[in-house]
Amino acid sequence: MVKLLIGKKGSGKTKKLIELATEALKNSNGNVVVVEKGSQMTYNIPTQARLVDADAYGVNGAAMALGFFSGLCAGNYDITDILVDGTLRMVDLADLADFVAGLEKLSEESNTTIVLSVSAAESELPESVKADILQ
C-alpha cells in the first residue's frame, strides 16, 4: 500500500511523518525505514527506525528512486514500513504518477507499507494518485 501525505511547505507533514514512523514502530514485527533527502530528522526519529539519507546515495529522479527503494526491500526482506520525507526533492511532480505506480507494485510484492510526504496541494497532483492521499 502506498499513501501520500500532502500539503504545502510548512503544513506539518514532517511532524506527521515522524508520528507515523513512531506508530509504525509500535505495530511492526519487522523494520521501519525513514528516508529523507538530507539529514534534518536525525534527532526526531526514534532510534529503532532506520534513517536513510538519500543524498548519501545520490538518489535523484523517479527511476533512480524506484531502484533505490527496490534495493532497500531486496536487501532486507523484513521491512514493513518505508516513510519518505521530501519526495518532490527526489522525484519531479511530472513523474509522480509513474513513480507511485511503481511503488504500488513494489509494495505489493514486498508486503511493505510506503508513505510519501509530498509538498503539493491536492489540486496539483495527478488524478491517478489522489486516491492514495492519507486522510
Per residue in 59-71, pLDDT (tens digit) is: 999 999 999 999 9
Domain limits for position 9: 2-132
Question: For 73-79, what is the mean pLDDT?
Answer: 91
Q: For 31-62, how does the pLDDT look when each residue is reduced to its tens digit (9 = 90+)? A: 999 998 877 766 778 889 899 999 999 999 99
Q: Residue 77's pLDDT band (boundaries 50, 70, 90)?
A: confident
pLDDT for 135? 65
Distance separating alpha carbons of residues 106 and 33, to the nearest angstrom: 15
What is the overall mean pLDDT for the chain?
A: 91
pLDDT for 6? 93
Global pTM reads 0.91
- DSSP result, 67-115: HHHHHHHHH-TTEEEEEEE-GGGTS-GGGHHHHHHHHHHHHHHHT-EEE
| Domains: count for the chain | 1
In this structure, what CATH number is given to the domain that contains residue 62?
A: 3.40.50.300
5 versus 131: the higher-pLDDT residue is 5
pLDDT for 37? 85
116: left (phi over 0), alpha (psi -120 to 50) or beta: beta
Distance separating alpha carbons of residues 6 and 87, to the nearest angstrom: 10
